[in-house]
Structure 1
């Protein structure tokens, strides 16, 4: 305790400053007061100087019982894990809150769970059907097989649509189950065959022990031809869609002899549960999935259009291509050996620093000029010839980050790329021709770009006129991004256009298009065989490809209810996506609720606890104490929820307390809102560790609950930096959609950001986010300097609005106003101010770069020099230490005060990765490391100092790091504003999710 006393005291103070108002203030506890007295630590927080409350009040707080409010259906699933929070009355079957009569009857009629099924259904023996096969009527016959309407073996008739048990290769394991798709016999094999669409037992899905033993799930992409002799028996399976409403409620009550399928398809790769398409006789859904996947992966050409991965390419179109990634990790310091000296005694701790993670270059933009075959020894591939468009950071521009991230420059560089490196189309226009509509064009899609000048790559020069790509094909050497071996045999013509004849240059292997006689003659001199052409055509004309159609608007925006809304980051992003309108929000902190209201004036904001509000609704109340009307059933189309994350965060060390157990149970409250209102969509966000909390059991229960409520669902971990924020922030996202709607997919990355740890591991199995091709983003990653560069310096504790010049377009915080609010920082004491001033203004600098000197402070005092009276072996070298523990002895109370280098940092650095990043400066070419509610330099996430100013990042700078627009308003004290920013969902991430919901809604409407 003595060894880490100062660090522990700072953690307690930091915890109290960021705690919720109803949490116990640790600094008021007698135990902590005794700890301060024994260790001799002087309180540095004003809150510690306040008069403590009477002990009786603390006792009352500790004894107050926290009871979670739920609906009966949700409570039944979660009661085992949250028994202590639901209370004894709830566990005995009575609700802790009053429920209306109709809901009580609906939830109370659910029969008890059926017993576990034996391996074999009742009435069947464990043996295969081995008798002679009697075929039914012939359905169809082709060149290799004959398909029949049925097959009878041992008096057991099997027909397409029946469910059967198939022998497992390991007799000790559960037999396979599947649905018969077709029965046939091959001409080359005497053994009768059956095509099976496999089913999953609950035990083989993500749900495992949380599911029911008598439930099955269709496999998403698993099917197989098996011998009819391997069939053991028919199984009586009833699909839920075939049951009536009265006997299908939450799928209870089936007898032991009947297995039945819920109406879900399970994807074993992503862990998603979706509704199956309407079954068609003799059609295998899994085969359809596999066939569609093969078609996407195989290129095809029709009517001059090249199709690949659901994208259509034609000559002249613009597209994304993944080229060699040349952006590598930049070392923070020179790799010279760092030697400790008396002035900088802690710099030796840098010698093993691994540097920053590698940077990822965005996809390259190119204009398609030609298509041809490339014959390798191993493969026959399609190769594209493209004109490269450079981005500002790839040119000779000074301060390219000040340019718009959508600005590109057509260049004189021609390059080749394989078709499998393409990632879809984009739109590029000449800004001079669209001055009046450029802003609207850029707002339509993140795939829209523009150019103003051309760029000569070799010379590094910009020119005002547009380059002729056809002339470039003849004059410029081709930069080959792929190195394929050339084949000597003749290349066949790949495709031909009616208006623009296409031929192949057998030497350079490029498809050229032309309709000009002079150019034709020039090409003929190079032994190119041309088709006939119309000589009257304009020599400078290209066939203009059709632009990418922007996403249409929804017929009516979804009315959303935002639970645990905070200041509104999730609602803001969803509204920016054009999919929803924030109609109701619940936030218990009145100050933060006011911030939500200021930004969403038309929204009904309830400054109430979600748990208490649900209790009022279930009790039949129609409005809150202030008279605001609660939404009615059927009015809420979308529920978004970000339950408190402290109980799941790795940064929190107090997760075992009753208060945090209660906060964990608020997930159940969110699900109860979903059960009561039955919205079309449900979105939940939390920290990434939510997925693996309690070994993934909580996630399993959440998914199980949503399935019982009739929702499809998928989950994953998304990196917010991939969607347009200068911050590494991995968030758990769960999306659910009601039956009859398409379940939204996860959004593809937009910005090139290192995607790490986005897979979820549960029960030693890996679940991916569900993207078939994980692409690199097509926009460069946003950096600290993008967010900070145009903001002026600010004095501590200043809340005055500042004026800025118009910034580059296409940044998430850009707004029409030149006035910026909340550009303020909290004041610091004189000692910390001196420490900030002595942290070098270089990349990666932190406390290890502090000099061990005595300097005058602003309060008139003088700092002390940190003494190193001990020596010991550290990492194989003799190092000086500040405590006897460095010599292997017991720690003594040797704490030194008022030093530039905080005594506790070198004291405990060896067991804490040398406290890398503490008192650290942000890297202007890097990003935030997860913005938190209480930015403090003396904690593990202490890299919060401005890159070039001697202060902590301001509220507005942190807000930009989260992606909030500059006109978004925060209220309350500076501490409260930091909390509002740090707890928020990054709006760009929410917007990307909202666009996928919008796609789902539009597709469902058209369907």
Structure 2
């Protein structure tokens, strides 16, 4: 038997794309030991035994049954999976089969294991096996995962199963091959789970053993058994697989001399039943993408390198991931089992001692100390309880009672489990003062890490300060504990003694679940006061109460509400109680107090030009430049309750600005800046009549605020802000965009921060996206796997020899010089997400894309940037770490929300403050619905930015709540109430209406319906260009410099066109003629889709009642037309009339949307040009769909700048 062929690598694919063909390797000499020869046919005894088995009674549990109420579809050459882009397929397509079973229809549908399929694949009289399951598309791009339609339930005639890759860098998915496609197996049916585990488990364990042998060639049997704890039965089952792998791979046969492997192969841990070796099918080629497309090939799990981590991250990840991590430094040693058990015994003993104190007889009363006996003040700073002295500032345990904010009931003190912890039975608190006469102690609460979102991932010795205080009965105090404060970012004082803890952060369980630094100066100030003024929480409560109530300012010059001051003549937003549309704008003229004590505000109404004067021809005398920011004043007044006020805004007269550049600077400065040109009498009446009687508003007579000491940040940049920029614009800093894609995430943040966080370096694995970055910015680009780049950075920084890796451009170009730690201001990470559904139980357990969170954290650990920004899909919050049973957490089925828990634990250990939240792109001015998860972290000593609150009223109201473990009430820090935003939403027409129209040419116009022929002719007569959509060409439409349809009519269009573009890329992908015919036949009506097509243009997906579309009563969006007044659905990477995202037809053109129109949906400016090395429009779609919407990034950048500026101003005051 010839040895297996060398597997294709990502570099091979890249080389082919660049025209470089690697030289063939010499074929090794064949070596075929007699013991490894495989029989290709059965003898007569084999057949007799197999036929006899078929006649035995079958257990119903091992018989295949189709799920109830499903339509079974037989795979044929015409079949296409839901959302499958058949036009992009080359050769057999790759699909996913889930909820699967494999059975033998000739043996009364008996379930069969994959061993049987593998064994019979090349037999002369091979059995006929059928696989059944739900078909989905592979998540080649993680951004799209979870957006599939309901899958079809298929029966497949199986030709064979791909071989298992024992020595691959990453575990290869298992595929079934049929005549028409390859199917990746993910998630068996419940009835098939045992058979699939029986096939998969020994192979995975064999792979683990062999990979461990390569990494630890001197490991002995005792060490292997202690550190792995696999059962004898599991090792027995893996023994034949280990032998099989070594026999089939001559280059690896030396591994049988590794001590623990040698012993494993010789030991008889149990009875190992020998069986005939199967003739297995050849390994499936690695490359699942079409030849010549390195952008897809490089993303395959098989073509990526091992996850690379720093020692700290390796230590935190121990036992949580199945992959063998590549550690850059000393491999952290897991704690010894004896030490773990000893510590656990101490903690349990301490817990029982504390419970005995609670259960001990007698009342625990507080008595004043001798020095305080004659004190008349009811407040005391120390007291004697049970003979022990307690002082203000002491940390204590308090007996836990029922907590209405927690889901778990109060614990029973009579039934203590072996895994019980101190936080199960007690609360943690700090004594503030005593009121001895009333038997009360005033405490500030702390939370154990187990009670935060981190749960079991928290450091067992870490407590978190809460901004919560309460009076407790003195008798609830149980005992003192030792708590070390680490508020200056120092090293952690770990101790092996129970009852010893440390505190370094505040945990804000409400409103946002964030972790923030403790204000050391505030603590010192408060504790320097006499009680009851020495409580931080009480002091803050008074301030919160003042800010939270609507209160009239002295001399009736305005009001305060929700932390804002509203002064006479100042403009502000107030709630639009209609519940749709943006907030109303008013100008404060007077404040009044109701007889019942409430505050009323008298205001002049302010109108919006883009809404209240829509349809008016302004002519050339009105500078209609930024319509959404252009307002007009009125004389109409109204009175509203003060509780409707939202926040101040700024409205300046247009002639205040010297030129358009100054006006743009004003607009860019804040989303709450507006300008006006005219005043009308009221908002009621005929718009034309009101506008005809308008009066011009001039800066000289436009009074903005009548309060002389107004603290609002007004327009003109003050000298202090110029000084701030001078101090923070340091040329010698770096910002790294990790998994950067096109760089949209970091570009938007840089724009929002006004250059404070400009990306200087970017890591991106796909060559086309990397070239796109080089085309549009001056950032240094590392086009390589992020793990390889991290090794490169760390190894050279530590002085090791390390061969400089090449860029993935395929031209032999080496990576640029490495980055060094010490000057890193920020890291941005648009982290590639994994599948967050239940389908991942059996799929690609070692897919490195699932583990890139570890790589990301290792970059943060190595560089320790001032700020860290992370983006992912909302499903990241549901990402459970599938821990092994022998891991220290021992959580069966995985750790709930394990991904975010690990992320937070690592960042806190690296001394970062952290805030995390969900944002809806439509709420920030993007013309699409797209919810994403974000995390922002700031190193201790740097300000943590606030969550950007929505600025645009969006019709899709997402409750952006995050349900935290243990807490009954979800955190909900983002306000999405309609009628409270500063601006209306951005529609599709607002975004792309100025781009030039064109239609696809009908491929068979003579046979078209007469109405369609007339429509085509009429549109051509109207001057709408017609372009042939030629499937043989790369794209269809316009490239280069193109004339727009009209001058910008919205702020969105003006921003997109602010800088000239060298290539508008206003073209579509080219589709098959039949698909083109369907597209041009769909009526030019809102909501039109495939249901309007004649039967002659039907295709399998929407003409077959057994398809997913048919089973859903044809409620699909196939061939669906967009609505000018609506918004784009989530822009994904697979844009096609039949794909997952099939609402892609232009609102009033006979074609699908172009690259530029999709780019506008994500906020890309027109000067931003996309590069595809293979000249493939789908590659550009992928770059656009993977991007973070520009508007969200810009909002994050604004908050970063605001945080830095606020801290800088406060430092000036302190100085």
Query: TM-score, normalized by length of structure 2?
Result: 0.62
Are the equivalent residues in 2 in contact too, given 1:428–1:448 (CA < 8 A)? yes
Does the C-alpha gap of structure 1 residues 822 and 252 become closer, same or farther in structure 2, counting only changes over 3 Å? farther
Instruction: Work out the number of aligned pairs and report it.
Output: 819
Larger relative helix fraction: 2
Are the equivalent residues in 2 in contact too, given 1:218–1:265 (CA < 8 A)? yes
* Match among 468, 478, 483 for residue 232 of structure 1: 478
Tell me how far apart the structure 1 counterparts of residues 488 and 1107 of structure 2 sit (CA, whole Å): 69
Tell me how far apart the structure 2 counterparts of residues 915 and 633 of structure 1 sit (CA, whole Å): 54
Pairs within 5 Å for 1:551-630: 552=721, 554=725, 555-557=727-729, 559-577=734-752, 578=754, 579-601=756-778, 603-620=779-796, 625=806, 626=814, 628-630=816-818
Tell me how far apart the structure 2 counterparts of residues 660 and 911 of structure 1 sit (CA, whole Å): 35
Are the equivalent residues in 1 in contact too, given 2:573–2:585 (CA < 8 A)? yes
2:209 is matched with: none
Pairs within 5 Å for 1:51-200: 58=285, 66-82=305-321, 84-85=322-323, 87=324, 90=325, 96-99=326-329, 115=344, 117-118=347-348, 120=350, 125-127=356-358, 130-131=364-365, 133-135=367-369, 137=371, 146-169=378-401, 170=410, 172=412, 174-185=425-436, 190-200=437-447
Tell me how far apart the structure 1 counterparts of residues 478 and 379 of structure 2 sit (CA, whole Å): 21
* Match among 452, 460, 481 for residue 687 of structure 2: 460
Does the C-alpha gap of structure 1 residues 65 and 923 become closer, same or farther in structure 2, counting only changes over 3 Å? closer
Alignment deviations for residues 65-119 of structure 1 (CA, whole Å, 9 cap, x no partner): 852111111111223221x22x1xx5xxxxx3543x8xx799999x977537338
DSSP-derived class of the 1:914 partner: coil
Tell me how far apart the structure 1 counterparts of residues 864 and 374 of structure 2 sit (CA, whole Å): 46
Alignment deviations for residues 536-570 of structure 1 (CA, whole Å, 9 cap, x no partner): xx999786565643584543246310000000111
- Whether 1:1000 and 2:1000 are equivalent positions in the alignment is no
2:823 is matched with: 635
Tell me how far apart the structure 2 counterparts of residues 141 and 974 of structure 1 sit (CA, whole Å): 83
2:205 is matched with: none
Alignment deviations for residues 578-623 of structure 1 (CA, whole Å, 9 cap, x no partner): 231111100011111111111112x111111101111222323686
Does the C-alpha gap of structure 1 residues 939 and 165 become closer, same or farther in structure 2, counting only changes over 3 Å? same
Does the C-alpha gap of structure 1 residues 390 and 382 become closer, same or farther in structure 2, counting only changes over 3 Å? same
Pairs within 5 Å for 1:973-988: 973-988=1176-1191
- Whether 1:285 and 2:512 are equivalent positions in the alignment is no
Does the C-alpha gap of structure 1 residues 539 and 672 become closer, same or farther in structure 2, counting only changes over 3 Å? closer
Does the C-alpha gap of structure 1 residues 385 and 919 become closer, same or farther in structure 2, counting only changes over 3 Å? same
Are the equivalent residues in 2 in contact too, given 1:692–1:762 (CA < 8 A)? no
Tell me how far apart the structure 2 counterparts of residues 673 and 542 of structure 1 sit (CA, whole Å): 49
Does the C-alpha gap of structure 1 residues 595 and 699 become closer, same or farther in structure 2, counting only changes over 3 Å? same
DSSP-derived class of the 1:216 partner: strand
Does the C-alpha gap of structure 1 residues 944 and 121 become closer, same or farther in structure 2, counting only changes over 3 Å? same
Are the equivalent residues in 2 in contact too, given 1:711–1:736 (CA < 8 A)? yes
- Whether 1:709 and 2:960 are equivalent positions in the alignment is no
* Match among 776, 780, 785 for residue 984 of structure 2: 780
- Whether 1:276 and 2:347 are equivalent positions in the alignment is no
* Match among 850, 855, 861 for residue 669 of structure 1: 855
Are the equivalent residues in 1 in contact too, given 2:396–2:429 (CA < 8 A)? yes
Alignment deviations for residues 203-240 of structure 1 (CA, whole Å, 9 cap, x no partner): 221111212333221113x2101122221222222223
DSSP-derived class of the 1:757 partner: coil
Are the equivalent residues in 2 in contact too, given 1:368–1:387 (CA < 8 A)? no
Pairs within 5 Å for 1:786-865: 786-794=990-998, 795=1027, 796=1029, 797=1035, 798-801=1037-1040, 802-804=1042-1044, 805-808=1046-1049, 810-811=1051-1052, 812-817=1055-1060, 821-852=1064-1095, 854=1096, 863=1097
Tell me how far apart the structure 1 counterparts of residues 489 and 931 of structure 2 sit (CA, whole Å): 41
Are the equivalent residues in 2 in contact too, given 1:567–1:593 (CA < 8 A)? yes
Are the equivalent residues in 2 in contact too, given 1:919–1:945 (CA < 8 A)? yes
Are the equivalent residues in 2 in contact too, given 1:136–1:149 (CA < 8 A)? no
Alignment deviations for residues 412-457 of structure 1 (CA, whole Å, 9 cap, x no partner): 4322222111111111122244351322222222111122233453
Report the CA distance between 1:748 and its aligned residue.
0.9
* Match among 1123, 1134, 1153 for residue 923 of structure 1: 1123
Report the CA distance between 1:366 and its aligned residue.
1.1
Alignment deviations for residues 250-279 of structure 1 (CA, whole Å, 9 cap, x no partner): x64432242333444342442211111112
DSSP-derived class of the 2:396 partner: strand
* Match among 966, 981, 990 for residue 1166 of structure 2: 966
Does the C-alpha gap of structure 1 residues 132 and 151 become closer, same or farther in structure 2, counting only changes over 3 Å? closer
Report the CA distance between 1:168 and its aligned residue.
2.6
Tell me how far apart the structure 1 counterparts of residues 373 and 543 of structure 2 sit (CA, whole Å): 25
Question: Which of 153-162 and 792-801 deviates more?
Answer: 792-801
Report the CA distance between 1:132 and its aligned residue.
5.5
Report the CA distance between 1:827 and its aligned residue.
1.1
2:570 is matched with: 317
Structure 2, unaligned runs of 5 or more:
1-71, 95-137, 143-167, 184-280, 288-299, 402-409, 413-423, 619-623, 807-813, 881-895, 999-1026, 1030-1034
Are the equivalent residues in 2 in contact too, given 1:905–1:915 (CA < 8 A)? no
Does the C-alpha gap of structure 1 residues 133 and 543 become closer, same or farther in structure 2, counting only changes over 3 Å? closer
Are the equivalent residues in 1 in contact too, given 2:311–2:332 (CA < 8 A)? no
1:408 is matched with: 631
Tell me how far apart the structure 1 counterparts of residues 1113 and 847 of structure 2 sit (CA, whole Å): 30
Are the equivalent residues in 2 in contact too, given 1:370–1:386 (CA < 8 A)? no
Tell me how far apart the structure 1 counterparts of residues 1161 and 586 of structure 2 sit (CA, whole Å): 31
Tell me how far apart the structure 1 counterparts of residues 975 and 309 of structure 2 sit (CA, whole Å): 37
Does the C-alpha gap of structure 1 residues 122 and 710 become closer, same or farther in structure 2, counting only changes over 3 Å? farther
Alignment deviations for residues 803-824 of structure 1 (CA, whole Å, 9 cap, x no partner): 2243146324241327661211
Are the equivalent residues in 2 in contact too, given 1:313–1:425 (CA < 8 A)? yes
DSSP-derived class of the 1:735 partner: strand
Report the CA distance between 1:57 and its aligned residue.
6.7
DSSP-derived class of the 2:540 partner: helix
Structure 1, unaligned runs of 5 or more:
38-53, 91-95, 327-359, 470-537, 855-862, 867-895
Are the equivalent residues in 2 in contact too, given 1:751–1:781 (CA < 8 A)? yes
Tell me how far apart the structure 2 counterparts of residues 225 and 704 of structure 1 sit (CA, whole Å): 31
1:370 is matched with: 590
Tell me how far apart the structure 2 counterparts of residues 452 and 31 of structure 1 sit (CA, whole Å): 70
DSSP-derived class of the 2:1152 partner: coil
Alignment deviations for residues 19-38 of structure 1 (CA, whole Å, 9 cap, x no partner): 479999x999771544599x
Does the C-alpha gap of structure 1 residues 658 and 849 become closer, same or farther in structure 2, counting only changes over 3 Å? same
Tell me how far apart the structure 2 counterparts of residues 23 and 952 of structure 1 sit (CA, whole Å): 41
Report the CA distance between 1:910 and its aligned residue.
5.3
Does the C-alpha gap of structure 1 residues 30 and 415 become closer, same or farther in structure 2, counting only changes over 3 Å? same
Tell me how far apart the structure 2 counterparts of residues 171 and 384 of structure 1 sit (CA, whole Å): 55
Are the equivalent residues in 2 in contact too, given 1:955–1:974 (CA < 8 A)? yes
Report the CA distance between 1:659 and its aligned residue.
7.8
Report the CA distance between 1:923 and its aligned residue.
1.5
Alignment deviations for residues 293-330 of structure 1 (CA, whole Å, 9 cap, x no partner): 2121123313524222222222211111112226xxxx
Are the equivalent residues in 2 in contact too, given 1:748–1:774 (CA < 8 A)? no
DSSP-derived class of the 2:859 partner: helix
DSSP-derived class of the 2:824 partner: coil
Question: Which of 258-267 and 653-662 deviates more?
Answer: 653-662
DSSP-derived class of the 1:425 partner: strand
Are the equivalent residues in 2 in contact too, given 1:921–1:947 (CA < 8 A)? yes
Pairs within 5 Å for 1:502-513: none
Are the equivalent residues in 1 in contact too, given 2:1134–2:1141 (CA < 8 A)? no
Tell me how far apart the structure 1 counterparts of residues 1193 and 1132 of structure 2 sit (CA, whole Å): 18
Does the C-alpha gap of structure 1 residues 419 and 64 become closer, same or farther in structure 2, counting only changes over 3 Å? closer
Alignment deviations for residues 124-174 of structure 1 (CA, whole Å, 9 cap, x no partner): 5423862461336559989xx622231112221111110112223346251
Does the C-alpha gap of structure 1 residues 840 and 560 become closer, same or farther in structure 2, counting only changes over 3 Å? same
